[in-house]
Chain A
Amino acid sequence: MRMKLAIAVAVVAVLLGVTQVRAHHAFAAEFDVNKPLNLKGTLIKWEMVNPHSWFHIGVKDKDGKVHTWMVEGGSPNQLIRMGVTKNTVPVGTELVVEGYQAKDGTEKAVGRNFVLADGKRLFLGGSAGGPTDPVKVK
């Protein structure tokens, strides 16, 4: 019961996005609105750390050289309460990240949207599956 309702709420939130009112820090001071990017790569490591978690993603450039991008995501704590563990998103998962690059120009970014290779949205929150539900990586 609770799960389903939570999902519904979550989807509404997904649909509408969330403002940065409750951000731990000023994102726009860290990342550059003028450097939007779209990264496609495979997960090397998900640092489930606070205040923000970080996805290390191996991204190939046109010469085939792999660059390790560090992409900022949210605090893992609520996800853990919802049952997510370090095994939920396995190393090697293919991810597409829309986001913005760090202002200092290094290979760091904030992940505005994390999407799986099949186009489904990576949704780590309280999803239990279902046809219309956001995708939960097993």
Chain B
Amino acid sequence: MRLRSRSFLRGTTVALALTLGATISLAGQAQAPAKPATAKAAPASAAAGKAYKAPRTPDGQPDLQGFWTNSTYVPLERPNGVTKEIYTPDEAEAAIKAAALREAEQTEPGTTADVHYDFSQFGLDRSQSTFAKNLRTSLIVDPPDGKIPPVTAEGQKRAQERAAARKAAGGQYDAVENMPIGSRCIIMGGAGPPLQNAGYNANYQIVQGAGYVMILTEMIHDVRIIPVDGRPQPPSQVRQWVGLSRGRWEGETLVVETTNFNGKNAFRGASENLKVTERFTRTADDTISYRFTVEDPATWARPWTAEAPMAKTDGPIFEFACHESNYGIANILAGARADEKKAAEQKKGSN
């Protein structure tokens, strides 16, 4: 581990030379270094009240096109112990710093936790690329306590049933179907809806054509093509992992309603009857205000709403072919089978 200690020493020098807080806060501002961090991070008031008017596409839609990220250190739910809704800029910086430190915690060589490649060598820790800043203490803005509302009895029952079904299917590494859908390259957190910070590569490309808004999620090249021509939802038999979305423009705001989920990628335990309403408003050249409301009476006692701005970032989005080279699946399953064999042999030997 000699090499690692060398980089540790070198890193220390650099860390001393720069203030960590400034470093991190400014890194997030990479696209618009001239603007103070707080300018666009203030809690969004109603988009309609803003002076900013988005540029227009050739066919007159507010222009949302480009590369965006919703990478953020702000948690969906308000941390326990935090009572205020909005941090001061200083508090926000401190919170980001703490989160970045947590994210960057060193793992102990030789421990299970240490078995991974180093994200930083591949530019994958959040702070190496643009992330969206936000003075909020939680993305959830409603209910006012910043927490997901209580789960209904029906929702609890479903959660138990799902857990029981998983248990009945056997261990996580018994078969590929038992593995998490993200590991299987079926869908990842970013695609939503609602769109969520994917941990890394939390990037989106928006392209608008007449009558359509397309959102490409970087992770697993998930595409949503949202018609904005007023067509009705398709029949309820047609259900998809990402549901089916219908959009409309309300002034500066793109409103997208999504239903017809297949329930296999349950968002926070939601049912297939989940309805997500998203509101995209460009509030600055480098910011889209993104609010979503989640309604699922079968799961939650009341609808809830979150706000997670998207910050302009750099392209390109390189092809995230995931399944095609997902060697990890075979390695993991083969590893599990090898472990079983070893255990069986040991058992035989001890007899």
Q: Which listed residue, B7, B20, B113, B337, touches A14 by the CB 8 Å rule?
A: B7
- Nearest A-chain residue to B319, judged by Cβ: A50
Question: Are B20 and A110 within 8 A (Cβ)?
Answer: no
For the complex, give the distance between the alpha carbons of A121 and B173 in Å.
34
- Nearest B-chain residue to A12, judged by Cβ: B15
Between A18, A25, A53, the greatest number of chain B beta carbons within 10 A of the residue's beta carbon is seen for A18
Q: Which residues from chain B contact A20 at a C-beta distance below 8 Å?
A: 107, 113, 115-116
For the complex, give the distance between the alpha carbons of A114 and B316 in Å.
26
Chain A 108-124 interface residues, beta-carbon cutoff 8 Å to B? 108, 110-115, 119, 121-124
Is A17 an interface position by the 8 A CB rule? yes
Q: How far is the CB of B250 from chain A (nearest CB, A)?
A: 33
Chain B 155-170 interface residues, beta-carbon cutoff 8 Å to A? none
Is A44 an interface position by the 8 A CB rule? no
Chain B 3-23 interface residues, beta-carbon cutoff 8 Å to A? 3-4, 6-8, 10-15, 18, 20, 23
Decide: A77 near B218, CB < 8 A? Known: A12-B20, A52-B117, A124-B123. Answer: yes
Question: Are B14 and A126 within 8 A (Cβ)?
Answer: no
Decide: A75 near B200, CB < 8 A? Known: A16-B101, A104-B334. Answer: yes
Is B183 an interface position by the 8 A CB rule? yes
Q: Which listed residue, B27, B105, B114, B316, touches A6 by the CB 8 Å rule?
A: B27
- Secondary structure class of chain A's binding surface, majority of residues: mixed
How many B residues have CB within 8 A of the partner chain?
Answer: 82
Question: Are A78 and B103 within 8 A (Cβ)?
Answer: no
Interface membership of chain B positions 305-332, coded 1 if the CB is closer than 8 angstroms to chain A and 0 otherwise = 0000000001111111110111110011
Q: Which residues from chain A contact B33 at a C-beta distance below 8 Å?
A: 1-2
How many A residues have CB within 8 A of the partner chain?
Answer: 75
Q: Which residues from chain A contact B55 at a C-beta distance below 8 Å?
A: none
Q: Which listed residue, A2, A17, A50, A110, touches B105 by the CB 8 Å rule?
A: A17
Decide: A25 near B128, CB < 8 A? Known: A50-B322, A76-B122. Answer: no
Q: Which listed residue, A18, A53, A105, touches B119 by the CB 8 Å rule?
A: A18
Decide: A125 near B123, CB < 8 A? Known: A50-B321, A81-B314, A103-B331. Answer: yes
Q: Which residues from chain A contact B185 at a C-beta distance below 8 Å?
A: 51
Interface membership of chain A positions 88-114, coded 1 if the CB is closer than 8 angstroms to chain B and 0 otherwise = 000000001011101111101011111
For the complex, give the distance between the alpha carbons of A96 and B320 in Å.
27
Is B344 an interface position by the 8 A CB rule? no
For the complex, give the distance between the alpha carbons of A81 and B115 in Å.
26
Is A66 an interface position by the 8 A CB rule? no
Is B111 an interface position by the 8 A CB rule? yes
Question: Are B119 and A5 within 8 A (Cβ)?
Answer: no
Decide: A82 near B4, CB < 8 A? Known: A12-B11, A51-B185, A110-B116. Answer: no
Q: Which residues from chain A contact B113 at a C-beta distance below 8 Å?
A: 19-20, 28
Question: Are A30 and B332 within 8 A (Cβ)?
Answer: yes
For the complex, give the distance between the alpha carbons of A27 and B337 in Å.
16
Decide: A79 near B325, CB < 8 A? Known: A30-B332, A132-B14. Answer: no
For the complex, give the distance between the alpha carbons of A86 and B180 in Å.
31
Q: How far is the CB of A64 from chain B (nearest CB, A)?
A: 25
Q: Which residues from chain B contact A110 at a C-beta distance below 8 Å?
A: 115-117
Question: Are A25 and B180 within 8 A (Cβ)?
Answer: yes
Question: Are A70 and B322 within 8 A (Cβ)?
Answer: no
Q: Which listed residue, A29, A73, A80, A114, touches B335 by the CB 8 Å rule?
A: A29
Decide: A102 near B128, CB < 8 A? Known: A16-B104, A18-B103, A110-B117. Answer: no
Task: Add 10 more A-B contacts to A18-B105, A98-B1, A112-B118 (CB < 8 A).
Answer: A5-B30, A11-B11, A13-B127, A17-B106, A31-B331, A49-B324, A78-B200, A80-B318, A113-B118, A121-B7
B residues sitting closer than 8 Å to A (CB atoms) are 1, 3-4, 6-8, 10-15, 18, 20, 23-24, 26-27, 30, 33, 100-107, 109-125, 127-129, 172-173, 179-180, 182-183, 185, 188, 199-201, 218, 314-322, 324-328, 331-332, 334-339
A residues sitting closer than 8 Å to B (CB atoms) are 1-2, 5-6, 8-33, 36, 47, 49-54, 70, 72-82, 96, 98-100, 102-106, 108, 110-115, 119, 121-126, 132, 134
